[in-house]
């Protein structure tokens, strides 16, 4: 079913896409010389179509110095020279094969080949026949040599050998030269497109046209104006798409939700909401009474109290006679929210239910019936809550937690569950720099929780050498001896859940040798009930230490756990470290986070750990994370569900996002949107950068 729907979507997109772009969206196998063997390494780089090759920009370039004579002073440089092969010399065993060659002045250069069939080198470099050779010149003792030259050509074929050759990111089985040849084919398909950038802006910036920019950046990776132009185009298309999504949403009439306050008045809160919480609740309440569906982002640092704000919004919906749904990215987080809501709303006439992939049989059927007949007021769950069979009687509000794990398409899917689009509140516990808020959530209003609830103490953070592991284990024993609990997060071994799991199991076994059954372990491969049982034991203090992979990054709230140990902390990003640290400090007790580091620290890792020690401010940490790591990793390498920009890196995003947003707004407000002359060109840009869902929304609206 899903693949059929995907195929239908692809077909629909293809039929609406401007015909001029179709050659760019052809499969990479349509390029000359690309068969199954070459397609495989290309696909590893996500180079599936010609357009992907266009946007696979070079990271540097090789400058080939043309010389007439060999000169030892050129050692270490890439040179191009005419040579005449004079001798062959094979080494014993598996040693290299050498071809002796001379330049016009009689200087000798050894061309060295390792492995393979010497016959191939002999055919390439026949004795006595001039060849143009290009590669890196090296000194081997007093001799000059060139190992595996990049190019060996008859002089008449070397006329077009570039003086400057781009270097591309590669995967095994690809050479930069081969990839460059494929890029040339893709560039030949790139059409000249009508300009979509506002003329005054284009002239002021001195940017080339779109096609010229592509040609220039592939020829000279250092061409900053060309790179700026391409980055801007991607940002402009993104910002325009977000504006169209918002415009479409605002044109559709939603369901005004007027809460009378009776349920909220019944709540018995253990503390008075902070000013930031009260302000955010008021902003949300003001949105909910409107017929225009709310689309609001709630940003808050770890422990800032987003759940209370969401709870108030859910109660407004119930007071107004509507149903609401709360969507979480993982089962652990969904169950945490369900338990928190059930506990907070105990005694209130509110029916809360949960639906994840684990609910089966009669329990699942009962939940589905309760949603359909309206007897369930609030549903909490994972992505299972917007599957086809899940129908609501009167869905008025959807709350999405950990927004960055859900794409825009999934949010829209949830919104489609009602006759009238429900109000939408999305939350993130990862503070996001303003630049990224604008580029990823530009269609949303933003509420920001920048105060911590009273009683919360700053978490003391220490950076300790991993060589002091025995001392750490002893300190853990003393901590548990006083009735305390702790988390022990195992290092990221590599981008493989299997290896990370092995690291967690191994560490848990080591600790069990000392602490016996007081050691529990959780990881992503465990089945739901098994994971729940361990978490329940930890929450009930039957376990003293919980060993885990980053599965505990969100959704775990045990106030008695006041010690966090992160092994291999230098392997984690700032945002992940901050999230993990936020698992402690949940109560009013003093909490400590120990960051165990390796010995060989990069400057970036050293800066990350120093900042963690210095501050608990998640917004400052997020800004620094953007500077140190870039937007592609700001949310943690395993978290981000939104496609990263391909052409606009973090620095160019920061420099250009405001201008792109203003230009997109100018197009919508002054230049007639997509129906005007510039709008037709902008429509092409939306398809080119695959933001065409916004065109469909506009058509549907």
Annotate 245-285 with DSSP letters as a single string: HHHHHHHS--------SHHHHH---SSPPPHHHHHHHHHHH
DSSP 8-state secondary structure symbol assigned to residue 106? -
Tell me which H or E stretch contains 446.
strand 445-449
Per-residue pLDDT, averaged over 220-234, amounts to 95
What does the alpha-carbon distance between residue 578 and residue 636 come to, in Å, rounded to a whole number? 11
Sorted by where each begins, the domain ranges of the chain are 2-60+174-218, 63-167, 228-251+658-700, 262-449, 460-633
Token pair for residue 448? 């920001």
- 63-167 maps to which CATH number? 2.40.50.140
Percent of the chain with pLDDT strictly greater than 70: 86
| 28 vs 429, higher pLDDT | 28
Q: Which residue has the tokens 């309760």?
A: 370
What is the longest distance spanned by two Cα atoms in the chain? 98
Looking at residue 430, its pLDDT comes to 65
3-state secondary structure of 57: coil
Residue 682: pLDDT band with limits 50, 70, 90: very high
Residues 562-619 have pLDDT tens digits of 999 999 898 888 878 888 898 888 777 899 999 999 888 888 888 889 999 998 888 7
What does the alpha-carbon distance between residue 134 and residue 158 come to, in Å, rounded to a whole number? 10
Per-residue pLDDT, averaged over 409-419, amounts to 62
Q: Are 30 and 54 in contact (CB under 8 A)?
A: no
Residue (of 480, 680, 470, 669) closest to 561 by Cα position: 480
User: CA 283: distance to chain centroid?
Assistant: 29
| CATH of range 262-449; options 3.40.1190.20, 3.40.50.300, 3.40.50.150, 3.40.50.20 | 3.40.50.300
Q: Judge whether 63-167 and 262-449 match in fold.
A: no
Q: Are 21 and 684 in contact (CB under 8 A)?
A: yes
Looking at residue 557, its pLDDT comes to 73
Looking at residue 353, its pLDDT comes to 95
State whether CATH 3.40.50.300 applies to domain 460-633: yes
| 243 vs 631, higher pLDDT | 243
Spell out the residues 6+ positions from residue 195 whose beta carbon is closer than 8 angstroms to its own: 202, 209, 210, 678, 681
Token pair for residue 169? 């990111």
Spell out the residues 6+ positions from residue 1 whose beta carbon is closer than 8 angstroms to its own: none
What does the alpha-carbon distance between residue 56 and residue 168 come to, in Å, rounded to a whole number? 8
3-state secondary structure of 655: helix
Residue 453: pLDDT band with limits 50, 70, 90: confident
Per-residue pLDDT, averaged over 399-418, amounts to 62
Looking at residue 628, its pLDDT comes to 66
Q: Are 121 and 114 in contact (CB under 8 A)?
A: no
Q: Is the dihedral of CA 68, 74, 75, 78 positive or negative?
A: negative
What does the alpha-carbon distance between residue 534 and residue 527 come to, in Å, rounded to a whole number? 11
Looking at residue 174, its pLDDT comes to 85
Residues 174-201 have pLDDT tens digits of 888 889 999 999 999 999 999 999 999 9
């Amino acid at each position: 079913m899903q693949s059929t729907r995907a195929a239908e979507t692809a077909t629909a997109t293809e039929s609406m896409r401007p015909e001029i772009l179709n050659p760019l969206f052809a499969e990479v196998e349509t390029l000359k010389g690309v068969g199954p063997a070459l397609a495989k390494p290309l696909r590893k780089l996500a180079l599936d179509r010609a357009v992907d090759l266009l946007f696979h920009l070079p990271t540097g370039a090789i400058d080939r110095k043309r010389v007439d004579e060999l000169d030892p002073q050129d050692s270490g440089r890439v040179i191009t020279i005419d040579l005449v092969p004079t001798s062959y010399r094979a080494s014993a065993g598996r040693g290299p094969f050498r071809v002796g060659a001379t330049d016009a002045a009689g200087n000798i250069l050894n061309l060295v080949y390792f492995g393979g069939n010497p016959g191939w080198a002999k055919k390439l470099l026949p004795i006595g026949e001039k060849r143009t050779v290009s590669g890196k010149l090296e000194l081997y003792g007093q001799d000059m040599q060139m190992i595996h030259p990049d190019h060996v050509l008859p002089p008449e074929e070397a006329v077009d050998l570039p003086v400057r050759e781009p270097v591309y990111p590669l995967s095994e089985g690809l050479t930069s030269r081969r990839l460059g040849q494929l890029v040339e084919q893709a560039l030949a398909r790139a059409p000249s497109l009508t300009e979509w950038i506002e003329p005054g802006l284009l002239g002021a910036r001195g940017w080339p046209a779109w096609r010229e920019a592509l040609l220039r950046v592939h020829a000279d990776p250092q061409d900053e104006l060309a790179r700026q132009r391409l980055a801007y185009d991607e940002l402009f298309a993104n910002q325009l798409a977000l504006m169209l999504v918002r415009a479409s949403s605002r044109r559709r009439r939603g369901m005004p939700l007027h809460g009378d306050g009776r349920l909220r008045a019944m709540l018995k809160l253990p503390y008075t909401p902070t000013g930031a919480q009260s302000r955010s609740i008021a902003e949300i309440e003001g949105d909910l009474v409107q017929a225009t569906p709310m689309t609001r982002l709630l940003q808050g640092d770890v422990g800032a109290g987003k759940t209370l704000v969401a709870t108030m919004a859910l109660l407004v919906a119930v007071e107004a006679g509507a149903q609401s749904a709360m969507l979480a990215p993982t089962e652990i987080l969904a169950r945490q929210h369900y338990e928190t809501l059930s506990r907070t709303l105990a005694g209130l006439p509110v029916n809360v239910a949960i639906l994840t992939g684990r609910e089966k049989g009669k329990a699942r059927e009962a939940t589905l019936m309760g949603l359909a007949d309206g007897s369930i007021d609030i549903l909490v769950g994972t992505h299972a809550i917007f599957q086809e069979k899940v129908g609501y009687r009167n869905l008025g509000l959807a709350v999405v937690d950990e927004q960055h794990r859900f794409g825009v398409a999934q949010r829209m899917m949830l919104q489609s569950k009602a006759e009238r689009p429900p109000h939408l509140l999305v939350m993130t516990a990862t503070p996001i720099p303003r630049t990224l808020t604008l580029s990823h959530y530009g269609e949303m209003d933003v509420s920001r929780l920048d105060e911590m609830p009273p009683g919360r103490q700053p978490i003391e953070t220490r950076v300790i050498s991993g060589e002091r592991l025995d001392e750490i284990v002893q300190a853990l024993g003393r901590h548990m001896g006083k009735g305390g609990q702790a988390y022990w997060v195992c290092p990221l071994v590599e981008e493989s859940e299997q290896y990370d799991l092995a690291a967690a199991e191994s560490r848990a076994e080591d600790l069990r040798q000392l602490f016996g059954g007081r050691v529990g372990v959780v990881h992503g491969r465990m089945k739901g009930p098994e994971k729940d049982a361990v978490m329940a034991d930890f929450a009930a203090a039957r376990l003293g230490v919980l060993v885990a992979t980053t599965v505990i990054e969100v959704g775990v709230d045990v106030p008695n756990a006041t010690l966090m140990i992160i092994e291999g902390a230098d392997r984690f990003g700032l945002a992940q470290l901050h999230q993990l640290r936020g698992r402690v400090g949940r109560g009013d007790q003093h909490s400590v986070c120990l960051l165990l580091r390796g010995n060989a620290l990069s400057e970036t890792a050293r800066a990350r750990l120093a900042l963690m020690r210095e501050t608990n401010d998640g917004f400052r940490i997020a800004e620094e994370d953007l500077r140190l790591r870039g937007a592609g990793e700001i949310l943690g390498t395993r978290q981000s569900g939104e496609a990263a920009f391909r052409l606009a890196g973090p620095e160019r995003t920061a420099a250009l996002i405001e201008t792109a947003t203003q230009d997109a707004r100018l197009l919508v407000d002054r230049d007639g949107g997509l129906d005007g002359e510039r709008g037709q060109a902008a429509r092409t840009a939306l398809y080119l950068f695959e933001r065409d869902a916004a065109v469909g929304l506009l058509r549907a609206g």
